Amino acid sequence: MKDLKKVLKPSRMPDHSGYFGEFGGRFVSETLMEALYELETAFKKAWSDRVFRKEYQDVLTEFVGRPSPLTFAEGLTNHAGGARIYLKREDLNHTGAHKINNAVGQALLAKRMGKKRLIAETGAGQHGVATATVAAKYGFDCEIFMGSEDARRQSLNVFRMNLLGAKVKEVDGGTKTLKDAISEALRDWAQSVLTTHYVLGTAFGPHPFPLMVRSFQSIIGREARQQIMKKEGRLPDALVACVGGGSNSLGLFHHFIGDASVQMFGIEAGGRSLSEGDHAARFQGGRVGVLQGSKTFVLQNPDGQILRTHSVSAGLDYSAVGPELAYYFETGRVHFDAVGDDEALQAFDTLSRLEGIIPALESSHAIAYGIRLAREMGRGKILIINLSGRGDKDVLEVARLRGEIS
């Protein structure tokens, strides 16, 4: 591990230019630079303001339903036959996932900045639903950009967004998934920065978005740390979270980064195989490059052309990963692996039947790896898996994949 003392002090990152080591930065048009500077100033001022922080916490308590429980998974623990497995229950949040933590924070910030309209990208639809929810709560106009393939896979969430008063704009270009939705959202924001705030949903994009999203999501790890100390009297031996852009993983990891005894595992989408175009495992087949405002690991060919991706999970089906996670990969602080479609679908069933909890397909990747890891760790160890969302949105897609519906 490179420069261990520095890696274990995440509060020092990013630097003033938005870099985590060599990753991050602002790679955008001049049109957006001024908006990003304005946003950075507004966020830093708000995040250091006790009144803002109290309002944020109050909304998380009264509207979102935090703290989310840390649940001992007895059935899953017995099934794995090793470490004691706890689930951080972000699936129990209002709207059904961790995404609402960030959406609330950014909506309060947009209100403070005097913006009238919110836009967002979404893949699995949970961030779109969360953004539509806070827009309805605070009276913003709202437009959500979503790849048409993701809209097909997540039709229930499209209906929920419409019900909440948001306009869903399907993106038919490119892969028709999350990457293309982000591109459209950035184009819209460049043309409407005076009145619009872009609620980017993951710890990716140009600075200050990775910092903002990680900060708003860090409530997950803060609670988990307090809860496991109360339940077990010590820190966990390992943490597991799925990795799309990085919001739920960094949310869990952030308050444990400084604890060298706690191992961390980020699980990417292994898709059908690790052949080109069959997966979305950036640390398995990616290389350093720039995409949508940030320098990070990107799935691209030697000419810099972005590769197609695939995952059974819409929320993990993305060509790049957040810059802070890229830094933790390079330094070795976080270990990364991939889980394929079939293993994730099996874990979807396993958690449903053993714990009475239907997980999101994104979270199923973490569950699958957590079962493997618990067996390897053995008895007497403690493992926390971030259950980032519930699976209501995925039930019809799973049924379709199994040929139970057309």
Report the chain's mean pLDDT, rounded to a whole number.
Answer: 96
Contacts from 157-162 at CB under 8 Å and sequence distance 24+? 157/122, 157/124, 157/125, 157/126, 157/128, 157/129, 157/393, 158/125, 160/125, 160/129, 160/132, 161/125, 161/128, 161/129, 161/132
**DSSP, residue by residue, 114-163:** T--EEEEEESSSHHHHHHHHHHHHHT-EEEEEEEHHHHHHTHHHHHHHHH
Pairing of strands 287-291, 294-298: antiparallel
Helix, strand, coil abundance in the chain, percent, nearest 5: 50, 20, 30
On whether the CB atoms of residues 358 and 122 are closer than 8 A, the answer is no
d(Cα 321, Cα 241) in Å, to the nearest integer? 14
Is the confidence at residue 3, as pLDDT, over 60? no
Residue 239 confidence (pLDDT) above 70: yes
Residue 275's closest CA among 283, 284, 267? Answer: 284
- How many Cα atoms occupy the beta-carbon half-sphere of 390 within 13 Å? 15
Catalytic positions, please?
Answer: 99, 121, 388
Tokens read off for 24: 């991050």
Structural domain spans, the chain: 16-61+99-209, 65-96+218-402
Work out the average pLDDT over 373-391.
98
Residue 9 in this model has a pLDDT that exceeds 90: no
∠ at Cα 366 (365, 367), nearest 5°?
90
Q: What pLDDT does residue 173 have? A: 87
Structure tokens at 318: 């993305």
Give the mean model confidence (pLDDT) for residues 82-100: 98
Report whether pLDDT(141) > 90.
Answer: yes
Token pair, residue 15, equals 């630097």
Q: Residue 263, SS3?
A: strand
What fold is seen in the domain 16-61+99-209?
Answer: Rossmann fold (3.40.50)
What's the whole-number mean pLDDT along residues 172-188? Answer: 92
Alpha carbon distance 299, 177 (integer Å): 15
Enter the DSSP assignment of 60. I
DSSP state of 48: T
Q: Could you give the CA distance from residue 172 to residue 163 in angstroms, rounded to a whole number?
A: 22
- pLDDT attached to residue 12: 76
Angle of helix 30-47 relative to helix 99-113, nearest 10 degrees?
100
Q: Given this model, what pLDDT does residue 10 score?
A: 61
Cα gap 225→257, rounded to integer Å: 11
- Does 65-96+218-402 match 16-61+99-209 at the fold level? yes
Mutual angle of helices 126-138 and 99-113, in 10-degree steps: 40
Residue with tokens 């995404």: 99
Answer CATH for 65-96+218-402 from 3.40.50.1100, 3.40.50.980, 3.40.50.620, 3.60.20.10 = 3.40.50.1100
- Distance in angstroms (rounded) separating the CA atoms of residues 236 and 228: 7
Q: What is the mean pLDDT of residues 347-353?
A: 98
How many Å apart are CA 180 and CA 342, to the nearest integer? 26
pLDDT digits (tens, 9 = 90+) for 248-270: 999 999 999 999 999 999 999 99
The pLDDT value given to residue 217: 98
Check: CB of residue 336 under 8 Å from CB of residue 268. Answer: yes
At residue 337, the 3 state secondary structure works out as strand
